[in-house]
Amino acid sequence: MPWTEPLASPDELRRCLRDLVALSVLPAAWRNYDMRQIGDSIAAALITMLAADFVLIIPPSQDNQLTELIRSDRDLNPATLDHVRTVLKQENAIFGGAKEFSVADGNSGNNLRMATVPIGLTGDAVLAAGSSRATFPTKTETLLLTTGANQAAIAFQQWLGDADKRRFTTLVQRSTDFVGIASLDGHIQYVNPAGLELVGLATLDDALRLDLLDFVSKEKRRVVRSEIWPLVLRTGRWKGELDLTHFGSGLPIPFLIDWFRIDDPRTGEPMNIATVSRDLSVQKLAEAELHLLNDSLERRVEQRTIELAEAHRKLVAETLERAQAGLRIDELRNELIHMARLTAAGQMAAALAHELTQPLTAIINSVNAAKRLLAHEDHASLIIAQDAANDAAAQALRASEIIGSLRNFVKLDDAGRRDEALPSMMEEAGALALSSVAPLTVRLSFDFDVKARDVFVNRVQIQQVLVNLIRNAFEAMADQQQREVTLATMAIGDDMVAVTVSDMGPGIHDDIAGRLFEPFVSNKRDGMGIGLSISRSIIEAHGGRLTAKPRPGGGTVLRFTVPRHGVADAC
């Protein structure tokens, strides 16, 4: 053998052959080994075959990191190994070809003979061995070292390839998508577990008995056969949505299909069709729910819009109602004022016309008679004329007495009386009274008894009384800085309700206190003196009484009573 030196003996030759055979059979034991176990096995074999002090293996780098595998003699100083590593880096042995060199051992004073062989044709893996023997390495030892490096390269490459396959297989097996492979004619060759579960198949054998079109829903088979499959064979890929069949329920399942062609890396000819497809059921359900939610939201927005429009309509109606209420108050105020004038004038006119007709007629007759008699100059005519004048004077006195005695000059009836809410009546009357005075100049307050809410009255007439009393109170305080009127109610037994109007004015003059409710008697400088008289007539017509008394601390309290709930008895 030209690549070995002459052997010293047949035993040496036998030993060399034995070692070569041993190295050649090692790969049979590496089938289930990882890279570290493979490297350690080679290192253990070589350190014995070479009678070396150490064997160092640096496997192919993983993630740019080198992991050392070392076998060494027990007596070898660890510091020597560190020195060897340093020298290897300096010599850049792991990046070069086969090398032989010496390394000085400072601890023992001896030199270590080193031999390095790259593992594989390229890369950073290296197999290194060292011995203190001066003859190391012989050609036979170099042959064994090279053979070990070659075997390691083959084993490492195979392990790395198998590792890629294992990772790919694990990825496919654990994928939640449908992963499948079919022949060019559509016969199923592989479906991953998730794919089997998605279409309702129990085992891979069940899928291997089927054709690709069996997986497609019946409605889509024609388009797959005539359009999509030829397109994949021609262009190499098709991606889109397609319904597959669930073999258990028979229902269609929406999938995002990605079919692609696998070509032979050596010839470039098509070999298989593969797919990685995703179940869209959850997505479609979510889209449907989102669509329903959007529809529901649109309906809610529409309903809310309708509600807002209705609320706006009600607001406009309330605003209009308030405006109409203001107009009603104005109309009611004008009606009360007009009624007060008409009532006063009508009552006075009726009373005067009825009561004064006879005395005035007698006066006219007597005066005319006296006038005719005075035309005669005789004594008898003068005496008769004097008697006629006396009769006229007597009738005039009688007319004066009639005017002074017109206390109840109007008789009011029960027309228009019904149950009314007293607080609202009083509030409306207060608003009417306040409308005739300057803003912020007076203050009107209410104190309502919850037991005195409903009364049986003519609403307009009682509000006329209230407006008259409140205005009188305001006018009584015209010269004061503080102007406050209080309206209060109080139940009296089961039949009557009392209403009081209190002011803080100067009170009633003593000279008219006893005649306050008589016609033409007034506490005001320019008053006509008929308002309180008319008010008393209205209250008495309702079966109540109108009185006045001083207010403790100054002012006047006017009080009247009216019946409750249709009661007509006087208090």
Higher pLDDT, residue 473 or 3: 473
Q: Distance between CA atoms of 48 and 71, rounded to whole angstroms?
A: 10
Domain boundaries, the chain: 10-171, 175-279, 284-404, 417-563
- The answer, yes or no, to whether residue 13 has pLDDT greater than 70, is no
Fold of 175-279: Beta-Lactamase (3.30.450)
Percent with pLDDT over 70 in the chain: 75
* 175-279 and 417-563 have identical folds: no
The 3 state secondary structure assigned to 392-451 is HHHHHHHHHHHHHCCCCCCCCCCCCEEEEEHHHHHHHHHHHHHCCCCCCCCEEEEECCCC
- The answer, yes or no, to whether residue 459 has pLDDT greater than 60, is yes
What 3-state DSSP class applies to 557? strand
**Tokens (6 digits) for 132:** 């203190």
Alpha-helical runs (H) found in 92-240? 139-174, 193-199, 204-208, 212-215, 221-223, 229-235
Q: Distance between CA atoms of 352 and 520, rounded to whole angstroms?
A: 13
Q: What is the pLDDT of residue 430?
A: 86
Q: Distance between CA atoms of 437 and 475, rounded to whole angstroms?
A: 10
Measured at the CA of 419, the angle between CA 418 and CA 423, to 5 degrees, comes to: 130
Q: Distance between CA atoms of 220 and 202, rounded to whole angstroms?
A: 24
Q: What is the tens place of the pLDDT at every residue in 215-257?
A: 999 999 999 999 999 999 999 999 999 999 999 999 999 999 9
Q: What is the tens place of the pLDDT at every residue in 505-537?
A: 888 777 666 667 666 555 555 444 567 878 888
Are 227 and 248 spatial neighbours (Cβ–Cβ below 8 Å)?
A: no
State phi, psi for 272 to the nearest 5 degrees. Answer: -145, 170
Are 351 and 406 spatial neighbours (Cβ–Cβ below 8 Å)?
A: yes
Q: What is the tens place of the pLDDT at every residue in 149-176?
A: 888 888 877 777 666 666 777 777 788 8
Are 155 and 27 spatial neighbours (Cβ–Cβ below 8 Å)?
A: yes
Q: Distance between CA atoms of 316 and 21, rounded to whole angstroms?
A: 108
**Tokens (6 digits) for 371:** 């006038």
Gap between the terminal Cα atoms of the chain: 153
Pairing of strands 111-118, 99-104: antiparallel
Higher pLDDT, residue 113 or 497: 497
How much is the pTM?
Answer: 0.36
**The total number of residues written for the chain in this structure:** 571
Q: Which CATH entry fits the domain spanning 10-171: 3.40.50.970, 3.40.50.261, 3.55.50.30, 3.30.450.40?
A: 3.30.450.40
CATH class of the 417-563 domain in this structure: alpha beta
**C-alpha dist (Å) from residue 306 to 300, 309, 315:** 10, 5, 14
